[in-house]
Amino acid sequence: MRVITHTCPICGTIVAANVLENNRVMKCPGFRCQEVLRFEDVDRDAREHFLENLDRYQI
């Protein structure tokens, strides 16, 4: 299964796609980081793959 992540450009925290998709727009979960992360920050190919297989990334 493809594991998709995105890295915050400010604090370096790595965030799994399921977290980003769940929130769509969110404050970076890095402690005290104020950067705003978006699911759209994930590259298009990975994003499409994630959405096509959404049920496999849920629990």
Partner 1 sequence: MKGVLLSGGTGSRLRPITHTGPKQLVPVANKPVIEYAIEDLKAADITEIGVVLGHKGRDEIQELLGNGSKYGVDITYIVQGNPLGLAHAVGCAREFVGDSDFVVYLGDNMLRHGVLDLIESFQSGEYGAGIALQEVSNPEAFGVADVDEHGTVTGLVEKPDDPPSNLALIGMYVFSPVVFDVIERLEPSWRGELEITDAIQLLLDDGHAIDSHVVTGWWKDTGKPKDILEANRLVLEDKELNTVGVIESGATTDGRIELAKSAVIEDGAVVRGPVSIAENTTIKKGVYVGPYTSIGADSTLEDIHIENSVVIGGSEITANGRIVDSLLGRNANVKSAEDLLPEGRRLIVGENSQLKL
What single-letter DSSP state applies at residue 24? S
Residue reference for tokens 């096509």: 52
Query: One symbol per residue from 17 to 56: x for binding partner 1 (CB under 8 A), - otherwise; what is it?
Result: -xx--x------xxx------------------------x
Q: Considering only residues 15, 39, 47, 50, which one is a binding residue for partner 1 as defined by CB under 8 A?
A: 15
Residue reference for tokens 């699911």: 39
Measured CA to CA, the distance from residue 32 to residue 18 in angstroms comes to 21
Interaction site with partner 1 (CB under 8 A):
1-3, 5, 7, 12-16, 18-19, 22, 29-31, 56-59
